[in-house]
């Protein structure tokens, strides 16, 4: 069980329905026998809609594992995981794939753009996966890239873009299908300070909406200013959850 949080991490039963993410007693172990590694040791976490939660902590504390479980790319060893009202633990493989396709957006540390696709094609990938017609998907992706200031870089390949521009393409790709959960894994770690700041501003300005929850895994203390809450992890547990500057200043949802 986690250390009791110092803020309102646990909400009342009435407000539980408003939770985008609800994690209870989640453990995760890798390996078997003597070589077993306990990465998560009973994590409880709630993330309401409209909130940007930052997950912070030292390397190896279990941040990435937890976010993988919440995103549905990894299953827990034990515990309950309810995301957008769906029980991910009970969900079958195919349903999980469909769930991710329809409801989850991803921003990765190393962008993971397809190097052979142009910016607009990369941004359109989730729509293509969802079965949209190519032309329509490209139109929607182009509009979003334009909003992100990349209207003149639509036909550029990732290799022709700066790191900041690539991450903006990745943001467009994560948001193009209007997901209800956005998972960002170290979105600024491959960027310089200025591009990191711009990226977080874009995420907090465009991604955070009333009907969407955003989780940002980060090491970068410079971006804490954009957090509604900050959950600190240590040794596979959430040690504390603090109200972030964004909520304190009243700019959050």
Of the residues 38, 86, 101, 156, which one makes contact with another protein according to CB under 8 A: 101
115 scored as a contact of another protein (CB under 8 A):
yes
189 scored as a contact of another protein (CB under 8 A):
yes
Of the residues 48, 62, 76, 126, which one makes contact with another protein according to CB under 8 A: 126
The closest alpha carbon to 29, from 2, 57, 65, belongs to: 65
Task: Return the structure tokens found at 148.
Answer: 């992100």
Rank residues 71 and 208 by Cβ distance to another protein and give the closer one: 71
The closest alpha carbon to 20, from 111, 90, 104, 101, belongs to: 104
Region near another protein per CB under 8 A, out of 145-153, 184-192, 193-201, 202-210: 184-192
Classify strands 237-243 and 181-185 as parallel, antiparallel or unpaired.
Answer: unpaired
125 scored as a contact of another protein (CB under 8 A):
yes
Q: Exposure string (b/e) for 53-90, b if CB count within 10 Å is 16 or more?
A: bbbbbeeebbbbbbbbbbbbeeebeebebbbbeeebee
117 scored as a contact of another protein (CB under 8 A):
yes
For residues 162 and 190, is the Cβ–Cβ distance under 8 A? no
Of the residues 11, 89, 91, 128, which one makes contact with another protein according to CB under 8 A: 128
32 scored as a contact of another protein (CB under 8 A):
no
Restricting to residues 57-86, which ones interact with another protein according to CB under 8 A?
64, 67-68, 71, 73-74
Q: Output DSSP code: residue 143.
A: H
Q: How far apart are the first and last CA of the chain?
A: 29
Restricting to residues 11-30, which ones interact with another protein according to CB under 8 A?
none
36 scored as a contact of another protein (CB under 8 A):
no
Residue 205, judged by CB atoms within 10 A of its CB (0-12, 13-18, 19+), counts as: exposed
Q: How far is the CB of 28 from another protein (least distance, A)?
A: 11
Point out which residues pair with 213 in neighbouring strands: 181
Rank residues 69 and 242 by Cβ distance to another protein and give the closer one: 69
User: Which ranges of 130-162 would DSSP assign to H, the alpha helix?
Assistant: 134-147
Residues that bind another protein (CB under 8 A): 64, 67-68, 71, 73-74, 94, 97-102, 104, 106, 108-110, 112, 114-117, 121, 125-126, 128-130, 134, 185-186, 189
């Amino acid at each position: 069980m986690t250390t009791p949080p110092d803020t309102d991490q646990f909400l009342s039963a009435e407000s539980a329905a408003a939770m985008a993410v609800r994690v209870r007693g989640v453990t995760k172990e890798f390996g078997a026998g003597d070589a077993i590694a306990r990465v998560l040791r009973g994590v409880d976490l709630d993330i309401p809609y409209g909130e940007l939660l930052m997950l912070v902590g030292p390397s190896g504390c279990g941040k990435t594992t937890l976010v993988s479980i919440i995103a549905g790319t990894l299953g827990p060893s034990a515990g309950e995981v309810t995301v957008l009202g769906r029980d991910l633990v009970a969900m079958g493989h195919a349903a999980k794939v469909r769930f991710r396709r329809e409801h989850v957006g991803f921003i990765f540390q190393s962008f993971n753009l397809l190097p052979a696709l142009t910016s607009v094609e990369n941004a359109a990938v989730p729509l293509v996966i969802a079965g949209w017609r190519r032309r329509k998907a490209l139109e929607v992706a182009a509009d979003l890239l334009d909003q992100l200031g990349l209207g003149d870089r639509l036909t550029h390949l990732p290799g022709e873009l700066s790191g900041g521009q690539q991450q903006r393409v990745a943001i467009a790709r994560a948001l193009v299908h209007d997901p209800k959960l956005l998972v960002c894994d170290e979105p600024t770690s491959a960027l310089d300070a200025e591009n990191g700041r711009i990226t977080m501003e874009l995420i907090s300005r465009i991604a955070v909406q009333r009907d969407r929850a955003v989780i940002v895994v980060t090491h970068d203390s410079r971006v804490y200013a954009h957090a509604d809450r900050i959950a600190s992890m240590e040794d596979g547990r959430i040690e504390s959850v603090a109200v972030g500057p964004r909520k304190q200043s009243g700019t959050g949802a």
